[in-house]
Copies of this chain bind each other. A is one copy, B any other.
Amino acid sequence: MSNEKSYAPGRVPKQRPGKVGGKRAANRVERTRAICEAARPLFLQRGVETVTVDEITQAANVAKGSFYRYFDGKQQLVRSLFEPLVEEFLSAMQRCEGRLNAAASTAEVFSAYETLAGELALVLLQSPESVKLYLQECRAPSEGARVPIREFSEQVTQAAISLTEVAHQRKLLRTNLSARLTAITVVGATENLLFRFLDRNDLGEPHEVTGALVGMVLDGIRAEDPPAAHS
């Protein structure tokens, strides 16, 4: 639950990085942030691969040499850009998995899923543009600057499978599908709903989308108890 919103630079000097609160460290954080936040809208509008380093540095009001001081290249920038989102997402998933493993009743299982939904919604609200960028690029080939995004996508799938396996082992799923296929189905539906929602500024009504998501997941796991008793 840490409030770390800063982007880590890809390169950090070895000999004199400066004290943690000093001018160098603060400046490094600020420049990294400026570059990352200048790059993101360009990536969203034109795609990661087509945006050049020159464009990014111009948009960030930073010289080209400074970019290469903090990053090896575009791939490392992409990795730094997504690092906070990846951390928050994976930690939320891991917390949910912990709660699921500790759950004694079906109600606690439902509660764990609901808590996860709330935490993921928070992540979405905090960084909708990064989420949009992820959805836009997450099926890219594993070559070039988008490698970190594709890696993140695999982690999303794996984490979803892990969570689904808990429900699967507890016979909570209505479907007779494997946990893997169930997870891939749910992730695909969720990601497409999110993408279409984020892609149209006019299609408001976020509650309708969240309702669709929660309904879909809960609909698939009403095997034993009716979901009446959850906190």
Binding site for B on A (CB under 8 A): 44-47, 49-50, 135-137, 139-141, 143-144, 146, 157, 175-178, 181, 184-193, 195-196, 208-209, 211-212, 215-216, 219
Contacts and interface: CB of A to CB of B under 8 A. Distances in A.
B192 A191 contact: yes
- Greatest chain B CB density within 10 A among A50, A185, A187, A191 is at A185
Contact of A139 (B136, B185, B186, B188): B136
A212 B189 CA distance: 13
Contacts of A216: 185
A191 to B, nearest CB: 6
Contacts of A191: 188, 192
A212 B137 CA distance: 25
A31 B190 CA distance: 42
A177 B47 contact: no
Nearest to A174: B219
Given A44-B141, A175-B219, 9 more contacts: A46-B143, A47-B144, A49-B50, A136-B141, A175-B215, A178-B208, A181-B209, A185-B192, A188-B190
Can you list the 9 inter-chain pairs with the closest CB atoms, starting with the nearest? A188-B192, A189-B189, A185-B189, A188-B189, A49-B49, A188-B188, A181-B212, A136-B139, A47-B141
A50 B49 CA distance: 7
Contact of A135 (B139, B193, B208, B219): B139
A38 to B, nearest CB: 17
Contact of A193 (B140, B188, B190, B215): B188
Contacts of A176: 215
Contact of A196 (B135, B184, B219): B184
A117 to B, nearest CB: 16
Contacts of A185: 189, 192-193, 212, 216
